[in-house]
Amino acid sequence: MSNPHPVIAGFHPDPSICRVGDDYYLVCSSFEYFPGVPVFHSRDLVRWTQIGNALERPSQLRLSSGTLSSAGVYAPTLRHHDGRFWLIVTVVADGGGNMLFTATDPAGPWSDPIRLPGVPGIDPDLAWDDDGTCWCTVAGIVQVRIDPRTGETFGEPHKLWSGTPGAAAPEAPHLYRIGDYWYLLIAEGGTERGHGVSIARGPAPDGPFEPCPANPILTHRSTGHPVQNTGHADLVQAPDGSWWMAFLGVRPGGGTPGWHVLGRETFLAPVTWEEGWPVVGGIVSGSPSGSFMDDFDLAELQACWISMRSRPADLYTTKERAGSLTLRAAGASLDEHDVTFLGRRAQHLRWRARTLIDSAQGRGGLAVRLDEHHHYEIEAGDGRVQVIARIGSVRSVVAEQAVPAGPLVLAVQAGDPRSPGDPRSAPDTLSFSVEGSTVLASLDGRFLSTEVAGGFTGRVIGMYAATGTVHFDWFDYEVTP
């Protein structure tokens, strides 16, 4: 069986898509990372470019240091209506809830939030009927009418559909008017191996809804397909009249039970219609993104860079030292919620990342992070480098080496597991080194996977400061065979 590539690889879950003319726009969940809700553009549904982040100001998104990993921003829906883009999300954090943002240009700027205190739950969707009434539907498949310009709700939320009998967690609803029917697309079965997509239709946006007799219309449960956990989908129609589905999935690797390390990624499949019901075809392989380099010559950081919960300007800058990223320490390690960390999502199964660090005024390094309890890093400072592993409740220095004074190139590489073919083998091995010397440590990759750590995110690779001030001259990320 071929191994289809995502159209947006790496930790980009819960895709929501819309089209305006010949242009497609897509957003994803961002959880505890800031800025929130990456925004992508495409002309062909296969090749996507990030054009910004919708929530890039503290006035839009405030995640305190107490926000847990895998909390934060959940399940956005993106729609275009009445000449504007509308983005509705759930923020799972203190003072959060469901909120709505608008923009005339999806690249931004986006508005400050319109709060929706009368909308319960998570996974909110927006749909407008012919008379302009706006319907908001949430997980549990509960619906309420809203005024999207003020956040006011009308009437009590009411249940539309319970999903497939016996299927857990009906969520991620999207409502569409297609032909003579209103279609209600949902995810169910939980976001693990049992995940799937089902659909119902009815005469009006508030039902009643009859389920498709072929439900689930998409699932890879109990199959050997290389893409698993398929669900949380959205539909879009192309200018030529064809239909397409964007949805999340994972690429587990290693032995049994399989470990996915990149998080839930965005995939694409064609949709045809038979007797008024959608039929989902095979996955269309995306165009893999390539290597990445940032020499930090720009005054502002590129859109792909993310930090945990916030990004205070006094701790992150490219303006202090020309052509360098300067990080000032807050939390003392990757174990802390407020560590100064700047990373990007890992997007390939095999890769190498490097950075040139100057730690003369502090201590910092290069890390691969899943959450506060699951991360590996190579750290430089005080005339030595250390490879540190945090796995659950255990934190250990697994290798240490003295180094000469001056800047160093730190490197980490994701490669093949040490015991391929073993049913217990890891999905990969992460090797840490100082460029020009031997590998200091090679660590089992399964411990930085969702199956071990839990949660909803994937690996993020980046630079951090643990003490003092640390400068990084450049960062590169290279796809390897």
Domains of the chain are 16-280 (2.115.10.20), 292-479 (2.60.120.200)
State the Cα–Cα distance between residues 257 and 110, nearest whole angstrom: 42
Q: What is the pLDDT of residues 210-241, one digit of tens each?
A: 999 999 999 999 999 999 999 999 999 999 99
Which of 14, 125, 372, 377 is flagged as catalytic?
A: 14
Which of 32, 56, 123, 171 is flagged as catalytic?
A: 171
CA 113 and chain centroid, separation? 21
Three-state secondary structure string covering 380-392: EECCEEEEEEEEC
Handedness of CA 135, 137, 143, 149 (dihedral sign): negative
171 is catalytic: yes
Q: Which pLDDT value is given to residue 481?
A: 87
Q: Which pLDDT value is given to residue 454?
A: 97
Q: What is the pLDDT of residues 251-307, one digit of tens each?
A: 999 999 999 999 999 999 999 999 999 999 999 999 877 899 999 999 999 999 999
What six digits make up the tokens of 155? 């009437």
> Which strand (E) or helix (H) includes residue 84?
strand 84-92
Q: What is the pLDDT of residues 342-395, one digit of tens each?
A: 999 999 999 999 999 999 999 999 999 999 999 999 999 999 999 999 999 999
- Cβ neighbours for 258, distance < 8 A, ≥ 6 positions apart: 228, 252, 427, 451
Q: Which pLDDT value is given to residue 280?
A: 98
State the Cα–Cα distance between residues 305 and 191, nearest whole angstrom: 26
Q: Which pLDDT value is given to residue 418?
A: 74
Asked whether the beta carbons of 161 and 207 are under 8 A apart, the reply is yes
233-243 exposure pattern, b = at least 16 Cβ within 10 A, e = fewer: bbbbeeeeeeb
What six digits make up the tokens of 370? 């899943």
Q: Which pLDDT value is given to residue 391?
A: 98
278-300 exposure pattern, b = at least 16 Cβ within 10 A, e = fewer: bebeebbebeebeebebebeeee
Regions of the chain where pLDDT drops below 50: 1
338 is catalytic: no
CA 357 and chain centroid, separation? 27
What six digits make up the tokens of 170? 């009906």
